[in-house]
Amino acid sequence: MVRVQTDDFDVSSVLGELCHDRTDVGASVSFIGYVRDLNLEVDVEAMHLEHYPGMTEKALAVIVDEALTRWKLTGAAVIHRVGELRPPDQIVLVAVTSAHRGDAFSACEFIMDYLKTRAPFWKKEQLKDGSSRWVDARASDDEAAQRWDNSETW
Amino acid sequence: MRIRVLYFAALAEQVDCRSEELETNAASASELIEVLRARGDPWRSAFDSRTQVAINQHLAKQADSLGDGDEVAFFPPVTGG
C-alpha cells in the first residue's frame, strides 16, 4: 500500500489492514516521522512538503517492491503526507509485516533510507521570524542508503 | 524533438519557472542542462553535479538519454521522510 496525501494517518488502522484476515504474520515493524520544532538550532514554525505528482507514488512503489524482493515480507505500507504541516504533526509512516522480526526490522529501515534519498519530496521550513528556507539533503542520509547498495541481502 | 521540462523546489524558485515545453536536439539530460545554462543567470548557476533528474517520472542520471515526447524533471536532492 502506497499513499501520498494531505490527511493524517493512524498507524493502528494501517497495521490492521496489513494483518487483516491473515494468521501468517509473526512480526510488524513501523516507523513514524514527525515535524520537529527545532532544526539547525532555529525554531521551525511550520513546514511545506512539496512533491512531484505522478512520480511520487511510482517512486515509493519501486522502493517497496525492492524491499519485497530483498526480504520475506507478508506486507508493506508507506503513507507520506504533503502540504502544510506543523510540529508535532506526523509526516510519514512505513509499516512492514513478516513471519519474522529480522526481515521486518531490516525492510522498514531500508524503505526509510531509500525514501530519504530517492522519493521526490522537498521540505520548506517557515521559521518563527517569518523567513523560510529549503531543507538541505544530508550526507548522512546518502551514507545510510549506500550501505544497502553494498549489503549482501539479495 | 519535443520535450516537457519540469522544475521543482529551490531550483524552480531560482529560475522562476515550474514547467515548459522545449524543442531541442539535446541527446541527454546533461546536454539539456547545458542548453538551459546557456540562457545565462539565473539558469547558469541553477544546475550542478548534485542536481537530480527524472525522465518520464523515473529517477535517472544526468548522463541518461532523452527521447521525443519525454517528460524531464530537474530538482535539488530530495528531502522527504
Numbered residues of chain B with Cβ closer than 8 Å to any chain A Cβ: 6, 8-10, 50, 54, 57-59, 73, 75-81
pLDDT class of A154 with cuts at 50, 70, 90: very low
Asked if the Cβ–Cβ distance from A115 to B80 is below 8 Å, we say yes
**Complex ipTM above 0.90?**
yes
Contact A115, B80 (CB under 8 A): yes
From the list B50, B75, B81, the residue facing A115 with the nearest CB is B81
Tens of pLDDT along B49-75? 999 999 999 999 999 999 999 999 999
Tens of pLDDT along B15-40? 999 999 999 999 999 999 999 999 99
Percent of chain A at pLDDT > 90 equals 80
For range A23-27, the mean pLDDT: 97
For range A15-35, the mean pLDDT: 97
- Taking each continuous run of H as one helix and of E as one strand, the counts in chain B are 2, 5
**Per-residue confidence (pLDDT) for residue A37, from 0 to 100:** 87
Of A117, A69, A80, residue with least CA distance to A4: A80
Q: Which residues in B lie closer than 8 A to residue A51 (C-beta atoms)?
A: 80
Asked if the Cβ–Cβ distance from B8 to A54 is below 8 Å, we say no
Of A107, A120, A114, residue with least CA distance to A143: A114
3-class secondary structure, A97: strand
Cell 508535532 locates to: A88
For range A77-101, the mean pLDDT: 97
| Residue A59 confidence (pLDDT) above 80 | yes
Tens of pLDDT along A120-129? 999 999 998 8
Asked if the Cβ–Cβ distance from A120 to B75 is below 8 Å, we say yes
**Per-residue confidence (pLDDT) for residue A60, from 0 to 100:** 97
Parallel, antiparallel, or unpaired: how do β-strands A42-51 and A38-39 relate?
antiparallel
Q: Which residues in B lie closer than 8 A to residue A133 (C-beta atoms)?
A: none
Residue A148's contacts (CB-CB under 8 Å, 6 or more residues apart) are A110, A113, A114
Cα–Cα distance measured from residue A149 to residue A10, given in angstroms and rounded to the nearest whole number: 31
**Per-residue confidence (pLDDT) for residue A38, from 0 to 100:** 77
Chain B contact probe: residue of A5, A31, A117 with most B CBs at under 10 A:
A117
